[in-house]
A and B are shown apart, each in its own frame.
Chain A
C-alpha cells in the first residue's frame, strides 16, 4: 500500500490519540501529554515506507479511525452462592434467619465504560436483581412479582429490578485533580472500593460494611488525586453530595449537602502498606411530600418535618501485603443525633429511636499459594456494636475459608462462619449462627 507521508502521519497521530484515550481510561489524575493528542508544533519526521505500521490494522487500529476512542467497553461480573445454615427448626435463630439450604444468584453486574476524550470518561455499573420477587417484609409477608407474559401466551413469569450501582462522568482537571460527577461509591476503607465479589476474598461483607455506617454510594461531586513523593504515594478524596436519604440519587429533601473526605498513604514498608482515614458528615431526612392548600385565595405550601438526623462517620483502614501475605483491617464509627421534633421510631418497637453511636471493625488475613488454583486460606474476625436495644448489644463473627483463582477471571470460595451475640439479653443470649457458604464468581 502506498501513502503519502503526511497523510500517513496524520492517520498515525489519530491512531495514537485513539490508542492513548483508551489507555488513559479512568486513570486517576492526568490529561494526556499534549504531543499525543494534538499535532506537534513542529512537523514530525515523515514516515518511512518501511515503517511497518501499515500492519496496525491487524491490531484493530485501522488508520481511518477517528482521533477519539469511540469504543464502548462492556464487562461485568456475576456470582452464584450455595448457602447452608446449620440450624434446627426449633432453634431460636431459625426465627431470625432463613434456615433452608439454597442456591442463589447473588450478583449480575454490568459495566459500561467509555473514554469520551483524552480527559473525559464515563463509567456506569448496573446490577440486575430478582428482587423485589422474594423480598421478605418485617411482618413475614413475601413479595411475589408473578405476572403474565404477553409475549408468551400469558404464561407466568417473575420480573425483577435493576439497581444503578454507580454512574458518573469523570474529568481530569489537572494531573493531580480528577473530578467525578454523578453517583459514585463512597471512597472509604478497602471493602467498599473493592466492591465486587470477584475482588473480595471472602463470601460476605463484615457487619460494619454491610450496615453502611458510611453510605455505600453518594450522588454529587467527587474530587480525587494522588501525589508521588519518592517511594511514597499520598492520595486524597473529597466529596460533596445529597447525602443519605430515601431518594438520594435525585432528591435532597433537606437541601443540606453532605461532605466527606479521605486521605491515603502508600508506603513500601516491609512489602506494601496502605493506610487510609475517612470522614463523612451529612443530614438524613425522610418526609412526606409538600402539602399545598389554598387559603384566602392564595396557594400556601407546607413542608412536613418527617424524620431527620445529623450523622458523623469516621473510619480508618490498613492494608499490608508482603509477598503472598495479605492483611487488611478497618474500623468504622458512626454517630447519629436526631433533630428536635424529628426523631424516628425505634426499629425494635421500643418507642422513639435514641441518638446512637455505632461502630464496627474487622480483620482479614490471607495467604495465596502459587499452586492448586492459587488456593488462598483466609480468616476473618468481625465485631460490630449496633444501636443499643433490649434485644441486641454486640454481634461477633469468626469466619475461615478458602479462595481459589483457577483463572484470573474465575474465583471459587468456601467459607465457614460462626456468629453470636455477646452481651445479648435472654432472647439471643445462646444463639449461635453457623453457616457454610460456597461461591463461584466470575468476571466477563
Chain B
C-alpha cells in the first residue's frame, strides 16, 4: 500500500530550524541603549489638568483605549511611523518595534476596532497640543515651547536621572 508523502512536517521543521539559527541574540532594538541622551518629553497644553501619567496609561492611550483624567478625555497625537520620535516612543512605552506597531494597527482594522492616533509632524504636534484641551503628545526636549507643559511619566520629571523616555 502506498503511503502519502509527508513533506509538510519536513518543510515546517526545516524552516523552523533556520529561523532559530538566525534569530539575533541580544536586546531588542527598542530595548537597546539609547544612542543619545536627548529626552522625549510627554506634553499637554498649559491649562491641562494632567500632570502625571503612568506608563500603562500612556500605553493604553496610544494603543486605542480611551483614557480620562479629571473627566477630560485625552486625545493622543503621534509622530509619523518612520520618525525617530515615534520609534523611540513606541519602543519604550508600547514595547513594540516599528514592524510590530504596523501589525498591531493593521490587525485592529480587520477586527473593526479603532485606528491609530493621528500622526503629525513635530511642529503641528506642539501647536495642536497647545491649543486643544485633552490633547497629548510627545516631543524631543529641545522642541518644548512655552505653549505646552511637560508632564511626569510614572512620577518622574523629564529632568530626573531615571526618566525612561529617550530619543534613540
Contact = CB atoms under 8 A, between A and B. Distances in A.
Contacts of B131: 12, 16, 44
A283 B101 CA distance: 42
B114 A405 contact: no
B107 A400 contact: no
Interface stretch (A128-136, A148-156, A192-200, A330-338): A192-200
A443 B9 contact: no
Nearest to A24: B114
Given A111-B109, A371-B24, A175 B124 contact: no
A20 B24 CA distance: 40
Contacts of A400: 9, 12
B163 to A, nearest CB: 20
Contacts of A25: 114-115
B73 A88 contact: no
Given A33-B72, A377-B19, A402-B16, A51 B110 contact: no
B4 A86 contact: yes
A166 B113 CA distance: 13
B134 A414 contact: no
Contacts of A198: 106-107, 110
Contact of B112 (A55, A123, A435): A123
B112 A414 contact: no
A20 B75 contact: yes
B66 A375 contact: no
B116 to A, nearest CB: 9
A59 interface: yes
Contacts of A199: 106-107, 110-111
A204 interface: no
A400 B56 CA distance: 34
A401 interface: yes
B5 interface: yes
Contacts, number: 160
Given A125-B112, A196-B111, A371-B23, A27 B64 contact: yes
B84 interface: no
Contacts of A281: none
Contact of A377 (B16, B72, B97): B16
B38 interface: no
Nearest to A17: B132
Contact of A111 (B8, B72, B112, B114): B112
Contacts of A396: none
Given A402-B15, A408-B99, A33 B127 contact: no
B133 A36 contact: yes
A56 interface: yes
Interface in A43-65: 44, 51-53, 55-56, 59
Contact of B107 (A19, A194, A402, A434): A194
Nearest to A376: B19
Interface size class of B (residues with CB under 8 A): 35 or more
A185 B113 CA distance: 12
B4 A26 contact: no
Nearest to B105: A408
Contact of B66 (A27, A87, A372, A408): A27
Interface string A164-204: 00100000000100000000010000000111101100000
Contacts of B60: 228, 233
B22 interface: yes
Given A23-B117, A199-B107, A408-B103, A16 B132 contact: yes
Contact of A195 (B8, B16, B110, B114): B110
Nearest to B117: A23
A111 B106 CA distance: 13
Interface in B30-58: 56-57
B12 A377 contact: yes
A32 interface: yes
Contacts of B72: 33, 35
A59 B66 contact: no
Interface string B2-15: 10111111011001
Contacts of B19: 369, 371-372, 375, 377, 402
Contact of A36 (B9, B102, B132): B132
Nearest to A228: B60
17 contacts: A16-B131, A27-B114, A31-B73, A33-B134, A35-B132, A36-B132, A53-B124, A55-B124, A194-B111, A195-B111, A199-B106, A226-B65, A370-B97, A372-B18, A374-B103, A408-B102, A434-B4
Closest 5 CB pairs of A and B: A416-B8, A408-B102, A196-B110, A86-B4, A35-B133
Interface of A: 12, 16, 19-20, 22-33, 35-36, 40, 44, 51-53, 55-56, 59, 75, 77, 86-88, 111, 123, 125, 166, 175, 185, 193-196, 198-199, 226, 228, 231, 233, 268, 369-372, 374-375, 377, 400-402, 405, 407-409, 414, 416-417, 434-436, 443
